[in-house]
């Protein structure tokens, strides 16, 4: 009952990485954004962004603070989760070449880390994302992974030179790049709509 009076709240996992840029972008989308570091905060949000950073560190901290189990549970119950870059790696079922790396394993994909090569550590590009319409999305890639294989129920939303860089599996969204570092709010807006739809069902 109490939930109905609470404004729609999108959480950003704030253990490590570029969570502040996501918080600012969500605020610019006109939605209430909440840093998530504790179990209680994770219980209160209607959706969660896992930011870029270092995937091994983010996962280690998720486990240390006991957030991994609840996050898996809530995602499996339908809460929208959007992982960007390291967040995508943390969400993946398989990490190529790192079979022992702990992960949430929510998203039915395999990813390759640092997959665009060392020479081109970072780059910015206009990425066509048909779901978002025209113009293409401005996307920043920083030591980015990409998706090497997709399993059942995974929809490919964008590819770059044949490499899959944005996927959706029902309530789960995973992207290799950083939309929070540009002025383009459309991908965050798309995620906020997923969160709004989820909240309506509650
Ligand atoms: N290469 C990093 C990792 O494996 C991800 C880079 C990023 O999030 N910008 O965690």
List pLDDT tens digits, range 160-171: 999 999 999 999
Burial of 176 (0-12, 13-18, 19+ CB in 10 A): buried
CB atoms inside a 10 Å sphere around CB 174: 30
Mean pLDDT is lowest, of 111-115, 128-132, 133-137, 196-200, for 111-115
Separation of 5 CA from ligand 1 center, angstroms? 37
CA–CA distance, 188 with 51 (Å, rounded to integer): 12
- Mean pLDDT over the full length of the chain: 95
83 CB less than 6 Å from ligand 1? Answer: no
Residue 43 has pLDDT above 90, yes or no: yes
CA–CA distance, 129 with 43 (Å, rounded to integer): 32
> Quick check: helix, strand or coil at residue 117?
coil
Give the ranges where 38-163 is alpha helix by DSSP (H).
39-44, 55-64, 67-76, 86-91
Q: Specify the residue for token string 């081109």.
A: 120
What integer pLDDT is reported at residue 118 of this predicted model?
67
Mean pLDDT calculated for residue range 54-78? 98
Residue 1 has pLDDT above 70, yes or no: no
CA–CA distance, 64 with 40 (Å, rounded to integer): 15
Mean pLDDT calculated for residue range 169-197? 97
Residue 2 has pLDDT above 70, yes or no: no
55 CB less than 6 Å from ligand 1? Answer: yes
Separation of 122 CA from ligand 1 center, angstroms? 11
More confident residue, 132 or 115: 132
More confident residue, 157 or 6: 157
Specify the ligand 1 atom closest to the Cα of 87. 8
Domain segments of the chain: what residues?
A: 2-201
Residue 3 has pLDDT above 70, yes or no: no
* Nearest residue by C-alpha to atom 5 in ligand 1: 86
Active site amino acids: 85, 178, 180
pLDDT band with cut points at 50, 70 and 90 for residue 120: low
What integer pLDDT is reported at residue 129 of this predicted model?
98
175 CB less than 6 Å from ligand 1? Answer: no
Separation of 38 CA from ligand 1 center, angstroms? 23
Mean pLDDT calculated for residue range 196-200? 97
pLDDT band with cut points at 50, 70 and 90 for residue 121: confident
Q: In CATH, what is the architecture of 2-201?
A: 3-Layer(aba) Sandwich (3.40)
Residue 189 has pLDDT above 50, yes or no: yes
Strand partners, 140: 124, 178
113 CB less than 6 Å from ligand 1? Answer: yes
């Amino acid at each position: 009952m109490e939930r109905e009076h609470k404004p729609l709240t999108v959480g950003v996992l704030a253990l490590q990485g570029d969570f502040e840029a996501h918080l600012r972008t969500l605020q610019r989308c006109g939605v209430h954004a909440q840093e998530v570091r504790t179990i209680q905060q994770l219980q209160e949000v209607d959706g969660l962004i896992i930011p870029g950073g270092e995937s091994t560190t983010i996962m280690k901290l998720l486990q240390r603070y006991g957030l991994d189990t609840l996050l898996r549970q809530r995602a499996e119950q339908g809460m929208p989760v959007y992982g960007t870059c390291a967040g995508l790696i943390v969400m993946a079922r398989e990490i190529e070449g790192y079979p022992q790396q702990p992960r949430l394993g929510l998203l039915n994909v395999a990813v390759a880390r640092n997959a665009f090569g060392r020479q081109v550590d970072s780059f910015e590009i206009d990425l066509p994302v048909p779901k978002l319409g025209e113009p293409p999305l401005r996307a920043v890639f920083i030591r980015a992974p990409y998706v090497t294989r997709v399993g059942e129920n995974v929809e490919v939303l964008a590819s770059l030179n044949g490499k899959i860089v944005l996927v959706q599996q029902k309530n789960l969204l995973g992207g290799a790049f950083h939309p929070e570092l540009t002025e383009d709010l459309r991908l965050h807006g798309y995620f906020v709509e997923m969160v709004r739809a989820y909240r309506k069902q509650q």
